[in-house]
Structure 1
Amino acid sequence: MRKPRYSEEFKKEAARLIIIDGMSVSDVSKKLGASPAQLYKWRDAHLESHSQEAAALGQASPKEMAAELDSLRKQLRKAERVNEILKKTVSYFSKDEI
């Protein structure tokens, strides 16, 4: 049985799903029908090529941007939890004043 051949565009899109959209490798594997090992290779190749391009342009690499995105998502979740607590606190104290 022959291995399926995937186009470069297909590989790039799979890597984008993992890197940019934050999907897990196993989810992308199930969705696209490619093996997780292939997806890891495509992801690493995509990150490497974009890291070199970014370095040449003086921009952040995809790894750095992905790390920043992850950090920002964590900050957002924390801010949402704090906001929810504050809403409950305001509601609690508003009831006491009436």
Structure 2
Amino acid sequence: MSGTRYSGDFKAEAAKPVIDQGRSVREVLTQLGVSIDTLYAWVREQRMVPVTRQTDASLAAEIRRLQAELKRVTEERDILKRAAAYFAKV
């Protein structure tokens, strides 16, 4: 184990030919000089990134929707409280 640390950009660029161009891992690793296990891990990691981003985006949209619904329901509750108090006096 050499202990060399690679940047995230380097890892993404190293995995790109395998993912986008369909080149073999062995072909790419001979050009880069990294181990086969390392390159397979980078490819696996890069394939998972879009799924994670899509999941995060859908969760953020769901959170916004739920916050808007909570605001609406809270306002409705407050109106009903005031109406109940008004009619209790009458």
TM range (shorter): 0.5 to 0.7
Which of the two has higher C-alpha Rg? 2
User: Percent identity at matched positions?
Assistant: 34
Once the 2 structures are TM-superposed, how far is the Cα of residue 28 of structure 1 from its aligned partner?
Answer: 0.6
SS in 1 for 2:6: coil
- In 1: Cα distance, 2:10 partner to 2:38 partner: 12
Structure 1 consecutive aligned stretches of length 4 or more whose deviation exceeds 3 Å: 54-58
Corresponding residue number in structure 1 for 2:63: none
Q: Structure 1 pair 36/2, CA: closer, same or farther in 2 (3 Å)?
A: closer
Q: Unpaired segments of 5 or more residues in structure 1?
A: 59-98
Q: Tell me the number of residue pairs that the alignment of Structure 1 and Structure 2 aligns.
A: 58
Corresponding residue number in structure 2 for 1:13: 13
Corresponding residue number in structure 1 for 2:45: 45
Question: Is 1:24 matched with 2:24?
Answer: yes
Cα-Cα RMSD: 1.9
Corresponding residue number in structure 1 for 2:72: none
Corresponding residue number in structure 2 for 1:62: none
TM-score (norm 2): 0.55
What is the correspondence of 1:70-81 to structure 2 with a 5 Å cutoff?
none
Corresponding residue number in structure 1 for 2:35: 35
TM-score (norm 1): 0.51
Once the 2 structures are TM-superposed, how far is the Cα of residue 55 of structure 1 from its aligned partner?
Answer: 4.6
Once the 2 structures are TM-superposed, how far is the Cα of residue 3 of structure 1 from its aligned partner?
Answer: 2.2
Once the 2 structures are TM-superposed, how far is the Cα of residue 54 of structure 1 from its aligned partner?
Answer: 3.4
Deviations along 1:15-71, whole A, 9 cap, x unmatched? 11110011100001101111110011011111111122235557xxxxxxxxxxxxx
Q: Larger relative contact order (C-alpha < 8 A, sep ≥ 6)?
A: 2
- In 2: Cα distance, 1:56 partner to 1:7 partner: 23
- In 2: Cα distance, 1:22 partner to 1:54 partner: 23
